[in-house]
């Protein structure tokens, strides 16, 4: 009898699973069977605000195409780390992704400007620029890198977190700090006297735990959700960078779409921004509260000038390369 009951339970569970996973879906119910089945690669977990932005985008595309264009979001780096995902998107093997501008800079140099330190004053300045003509043109310029930028998403500002407390620039001397895989980031860490260790995002947690690195840097939502706070508990809010996130489609895929579908996809991407930004702002606050509750020591930086002075050589090194971009960013401040 007992066996029969557990068998029945198993059958029920399996049927629930089958309905849950089946490609079932909204698409088939909403109209025609999908003509396109695309994949979107995302590094963050399923409930992260940015992933929820991706999902909003996919939902709008499905709805507006009446089920013809289905985009499945693969969170948690299931399709790979950002650098390898970008390569696959260039080839059209993965159709969509959302990545940070930092690794993107290795594929399209112009995006490196976003990794330069302290070029934006605050979030408002960032969005003034991103929503302006110049910021939007940069998305189009990705075409020469076999990519097509669709929209920007928020990612707040990045700050250091370390095993031993860091209270000033001097405390960073000699520490091994993980950086995103880009040249500007390497230079930035070196200028601060630390030793830059590039590695994919997914390896940072074990790197911190095993002591391969002494620290890393990111925004508070990433520090929290990637569990880095469990390994190192000192967070200094120096806010050295504000690196926008980019939602993109492969140029290979883009070229195959009708003009009408391209418009639909672009518009859906733009319309998903409000959802991502709203969720982002809420989660940024929530994650600071959670970090505090988890016993993280948070150090505010009241005077950012010594930090800006230390990284000035980075600005000097790149100011000629990014002359026009930096001028446009500065102009967005005045608005």
Q: Is the dihedral of CA 24, 269, 48, 283 positive or negative?
A: negative
Contacting ligand BDP within 229-258 (CB under 6 A): 245
Contacting ligand BDP within 104-163 (CB under 6 A): 155
Q: Is 156 within 8 Å of 242 (Cβ atoms)?
A: yes
Instruction: Kindly determine how many residues on this chain lie close enough to bind ligand BDP according to the rule CB under 6 A.
Output: 11
Residues 75-94, one symbol each (x = binds ligand BDP by CB under 6 A, - = not), give: -------x------------
Q: How far is the CB of 305 from ligand BDP (least distance, A)?
A: 25
Establish if 201 lies at the interface with ligand BDP (CB under 6 A). yes
Nearer to ligand BDP, 145 or 225 (CB): 225
Local structure of 250: helix, strand or coil:
strand
Residue 266 CB neighbours (<10 A): 17
Q: How far is the CB of 68 from ligand BDP (least distance, A)?
A: 29
- For the chain, where are the E strands, in sequence order? 36-41, 69-74, 96-100, 147-153, 158-162, 176-179, 195-198, 215-218, 234-241, 245-250, 297-300
Burial 275-314, CB ≥16 within 10 A → b, else e: bbbebbeebbeebbebbeeeebeebebeeeeebeebbeeb
Q: How far is the CB of 109 from ligand BDP (least distance, A)?
A: 19
Partners of 160 in the beta sheet?
Answer: 217, 236
**Whole-number Å distance between alpha carbons of 253 and 268:** 16
Q: How far is the CB of 179 from ligand BDP (least distance, A)?
A: 8
Q: How far is the CB of 205 from ligand BDP (least distance, A)?
A: 12
Q: How far is the CB of 149 from ligand BDP (least distance, A)?
A: 15
Q: Which one of 27, 61, 99, 113 is in contact with ligand BDP (CB under 6 A)?
A: 99
**Whole-number Å distance between alpha carbons of 330 and 150:** 23
The DSSP symbol for 109 reads G
**Residue 46 in tokens:** 């399923």
Q: How far is the CB of 271 from ligand BDP (least distance, A)?
A: 21
Contacting ligand BDP within 9-68 (CB under 6 A): 43
Contacting ligand BDP within 160-189 (CB under 6 A): 180
Local structure of 328: helix, strand or coil:
helix
Which range in 32-40, 184-192, 214-222, 301-309 contacts ligand BDP by CB under 6 A?
214-222
Which range in 206-214, 216-224, 261-269, 322-330 contacts ligand BDP by CB under 6 A?
216-224
Establish if 219 lies at the interface with ligand BDP (CB under 6 A). yes
Alpha-carbon distance values, 187 to 45, 64, 109, 316 (Å): 29, 44, 15, 11
In the complex, which residues of this chain contact ligand BDP (CB under 6 A)? 43, 82, 99-100, 155, 180, 201, 218-219, 222, 245
């Amino acid at each position: 009898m007992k066996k029969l009951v557990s068998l029945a339970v198993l059958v029920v569970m399996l049927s629930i699973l089958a309905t849950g996973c089946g490609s079932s879906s909204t698409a088939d119910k909403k109209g025609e069977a999908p003509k396109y089945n695309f994949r979107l690669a995302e590094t963050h977990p399923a409930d992260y605000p940015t992933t929820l932005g991706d999902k909003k985008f996919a939902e709008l595309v499905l709805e507006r195409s009446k089920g013809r264009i289905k985009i499945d979001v693969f969170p948690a780096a299931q399709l790979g780390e950002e650098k390898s995902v970008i390569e696959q998107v260039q080839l059209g093997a993965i159709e969509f992704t959302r990545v940070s501008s930092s690794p993107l800079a290795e594929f399209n140099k112009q995006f490196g400007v976003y990794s330069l330190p302290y070029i934006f004053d605050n979030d408002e300045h960032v969005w003034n620029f991103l929503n302006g003509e110049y910021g939007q043109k940069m998305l189009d310029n990705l075409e020469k890198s076999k990519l097509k930028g669709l929209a920007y998403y928020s990612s707040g500002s990045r700050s250091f977190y370390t095993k031993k407390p860091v209270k000033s620039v001097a405390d960073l001397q000699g520490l091994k700090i993980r950086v995103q895989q880009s040249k500007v980031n390497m230079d930035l860490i070196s200028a601060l006297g630390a030793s830059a260790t590039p590695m994919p995002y997914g390896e940072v947690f074990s790197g911190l735990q095993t002591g391969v690195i002494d620290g890393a840097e990111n925004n508070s939502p990433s520090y929290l959700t990637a569990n880095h706070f469990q390994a190192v508990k000192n967070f200094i809010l120096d806010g050295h960078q504000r690196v926008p996130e980019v939602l993109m489609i492969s140029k290979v895929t883009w070229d195959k779409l009708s003009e009408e579908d391209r418009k639909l996809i672009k518009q859906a991407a733009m319309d998903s921004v409000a959802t991502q930004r709203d969720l982002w702002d809420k989660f940024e606050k929530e994650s600071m509260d959670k970090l505090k509750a988890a016993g993280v020591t948070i150090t505010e930086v009241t005077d950012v000038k010594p930090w800006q002075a230390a990284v000035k050589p980075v600005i000097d090194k790149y100011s000629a390369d990014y002359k026009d971009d930096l001028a446009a960013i500065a102009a967005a401040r005045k608005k």
